[in-house]
Structure 1
């Protein structure tokens, strides 16, 4: 081995430690900042991630897209892994509710409450670091085994990346946590890793098989398979893999994407037509989020976050709210309901991804199917709000109503937004990016990231997706105020922001 190869191998290890020191402190600092409050750390990850990405480029340490840091891109593309776990848990919860199944309490592991850092317990700290290694290892192994990703800077190192990630994940078990059966707990963790890899493989093959007919993205098949597996294994008590990824997976994925998004701030504003996309995403975040909350408040007669947080996380497939709910930031009820709600609208994604795939091939929105689905979404939303009003605070009734609302409002948001953007001068790929960012939709983000609308859109989506997160300080501030008020959301500010958002998206569409 000559000196050049030795330096290259050393650079690989440097890249690993750089990304470790980028992402883990970002998540930990975000938890420290909100410690002692009822606000979600996702709020700080947004600001910290975008600003760090921008500063790296401003300081000439990196260029837009951070191609100098290939591990950042690797981690940003692990969205599908984090979502696969959420879909599995959602499938379990759906089976329990729809089948009226009772399961014994999960006493396999009791977390340690010892505070390692301000705002983060010892077990949570281990979960965050373990999530990093899991995402790294599973992504590296999946790319090596079946993605055919052989032309990238890291392609020759995927086996080593997989080994480092999976080995780190296996040994990172909190020794202060009370584990009832250590061998069973470890075996469950290994089985969960294998199951995630199997789901990724099957979904990749399914997407490749059907691509000549219709270009459905891998995330669609991963959702269907993992949700079905969760429904079958509804009694599965979580091992360390699912526990860690549920808690820390989405925050780490978001941190990686915000880094890349922040690095493109200066570049993206110079692209023609991008200002309209960003404006729609910004005001759309206000309208689709607070408009949905306003409907739940006024017509559904519900102002508590136990309904509002999982209802909006599911109805928008909203990445920030999903991460905050599953991490327990909005209480145990919201944490339990969120995986159900994000699964329900994904069963309608056969329409979403089919119509978008055909629209991408046509170069424009498929008009009549879109209009029909908008009308169906409106009808489902009205039905759901009526059911929620009659729920009388009963858990099962509220969950059933929220499931219908998640499905209906998602169709309204996705197809209503695309229908509205059809009146603008935006191209189909710009319209898809604008609507994805306007609702922070994790599924559409993963699909565009997977080049559903081409390479240019895949490169731009981290930035476009990140910009409306500048609204998230307001979103999480409102949810934080609600948590400080026994879970009840302030009413008048919600109505004001919904109206402001509607005015903003109309301006963005017709002024473009």
Structure 2
């Protein structure tokens, strides 16, 4: 009888694996089909379909909130760090290029297939998408096997199997239609990249664990530092299939799973005390910090071009959706190259960010004096950046320098300015961190909350809270899509109007809702 039970469990987990694969991959493909022929990002559609899928699963009784009946969906939603390492690595390469003032060899070893497999998705892109799913599952599973992860979860006994399936699948999934200079070398590059990412995750885990008694910095901080250092050291590395896949589809895959989990908690969220303020701030805060930042760049920084606006806001807010759109190439080549630089820069300040947040979590309240000091520093860097951008005169080096400072300054302002505003509105620390993370779609805070830094309730609810401001993304990606179609120039009136609505909405969320 025990053998029959084991066989049933093994069969069930394989069914779960392929079911998750089908749901996530089809969601991304359908999203790409919806925006085919436009300059809009598919992440906009992933939000809607993900939330709907999660909600439908719970409403029909197929699942409970959190999708515990679909453990691999939940598992896939928690591999955010793995998906971002490729972007951090690419950012390190670009930073090395800036420091050395030397152009890197741009000769590529792969010419992607231009043949369309599905509307909006070419054959090579499809293989990147499928491969990204296998990579994310495989690497995270092997990490958990090595560190001995055991939380009495349904998947605990199956990580070796999932790791094997993921890693083997990721090795063999190469598009035969793409023109590859040296296919054996290309495949070996993919294996090396996979091993390196796994190594970075393990180092980040053990370093974070070792220093936790002194400072509670999350794993994502150390993963970023190690990835950037690796990128700077291997600045001439030509990307293999692993990094290419994660850059193209890593974030969309993770977001698709996250929004499914978030959608399953829609009904629960509105029953929690104080959640109205959290959700309202998340929604209107997205308008305030996103379009407020755009307004500052446009009106004060005189930098109204998508090559500045997209990576500038992706970096300054550590914005998961906009980062995914940039790294996937949806917003142009310049934005694709600059975004990894900008998302790396604010993490330098995260030593202070997470130190203060960790101390605040221990105290049970936000430490106001330190918060105001960080906000002041953020305003200083923002003003400095605007002066540089204003005088950049379309010079690449000056624009990048200005955007790097803006990314750091506006992030410090948004993170701690937002937390300070929420404290003034009598919102508790855990709820405030959730609200602010969602308001700026900050993947660093999201990963920290998801990892339990602010308690189990926040860890469970963050997927839904984080998803809600993505309903603003029709406006965000709509205006960026319009900008792309308008030769990179963003319409100014909608930006000002939406920023103003954000200000009014935030005041409502804090003092009325």
The TM-score normalised by the length of structure 1 is: 0.99
In the alignment, what sits opposite 2:18? Answer: 17
Q: Secondary structure at the match of 2:424?
A: coil
2:83 corresponding residue in structure 1: 82
CA contact (8 A) 2:149 2:156 kept: no
User: 1:455: Cα distance to partner?
Assistant: 1.3
Partner of 1:229: 230
1:395, distance to aligned residue in structure 2 (A) = 1.1
Q: CA deviation at 1:425?
A: 1.9
Could you report, residue by residue, the CA deviation over 1:453-478 in whole angstroms, capped at 9, with x for unpaired residues? 11111111101100111111111111
SS where residue 330 of structure 1 aligns? coil
Residue number in structure 1 paired with 2:67: 66
1:419 equivalent to 2:426? Answer no
Is residue 2:63 matched to residue 1:39?
A: no
Provide the C-alpha distance between the structure 2 equivalents of 1:110 and 1:136, rounded to a whole number of angstroms: 27
Q: Is the 8 A contact 2:116 2:123 kept in 1?
A: yes
Q: Following the alignment from structure 2 to structure 1, what is the Cα–Cα distance between the partners of residues 452 and 286?
A: 23
Shift of residue 150 of structure 1?
4.4
Q: Note the alpha carbon deviations across 1:126-166, whole angstroms, 9 max, x for none.
A: 00000000001001111111152342111111000000011
Paired position in structure 2 for 1:294: 295
Alignment partner of 1:2: what SS? helix
In structure 2, how many angstroms separate the alpha carbons of the residues matched to 1:99 and 1:355?
A: 34
**CA-atom RMSD, angstroms?**
0.9
Counterpart mapping for 1:123-202 below 5 A: 123-202=124-203
- Give the corresponding residue for 1:343: 344
Separation in 1, partners of 2:67, 2:107: 42
The match for 1:54 is: 55
Displacement of 1:203 in angstroms is: 0.5
Deviation at 1:422, TM superposition (A): 1.4
Cα–Cα, structure 1 residues 281 and 147, in superposed 2: closer, same or farther, change >3 Å?
farther
- Shift of residue 2 of structure 1? 2.9
Q: Trace 1:183-332 onto structure 2 (pairs within 5 A).
A: 183-332=184-333
Runs of 4+ in 1 over 6 A off after TM superposition: none
In the aligned structure 1, how far is the partner of 2:215 from the partner of 2:458? Answer: 19
Structure 1 CA distance, aligned partners of 2:341 and 2:18?
A: 36
Task: State how far apart, in whole Å, the 2-side matches of 1:148 and 1:157 are.
Answer: 11
- Please state whether the residue corresponding to 2:406 is helix, strand or coil: helix
Query: C-alpha separation between the residues in 1 aligned to 2:274 and 2:327?
Result: 36
3-state SS in 2 of match to 1:317 = coil
Unaligned runs of 5+ in 1: none
1:488 alignment partner in structure 2:
489
User: 1:334, 1:316 → 2: CA distance?
Assistant: 15
Work out the number of aligned pairs and report it.
Answer: 512
The alignment's TM-score, normalised by the length of structure 2, stands at 0.99
CA distance in 2, matches of 1:49, 1:148: 28
- Write out per-residue CA displacement over residues 18-51 of structure 1, whole angstroms, 9 at most, x where no aligned residue: 1011100000000000001111101100111011
2:405 maps to what in 1?
404
Q: Is the 8 A contact 2:419 2:432 kept in 1?
A: yes
Partners of 1:103 and 1:318 lie apart in 2 by 27
Q: Tell me which residue corresponds to 1:374.
A: 375
> Aligned residue for 1:113?
114
Residue 510 of structure 1 and its aligned partner are, at CA, apart by 2.1
Distance 1:12 1:338 in 2: 37
* Alignment gaps of 5+ in structure 2: none
User: 1:424 and 1:105 mapped to 2: Cα distance?
Assistant: 51
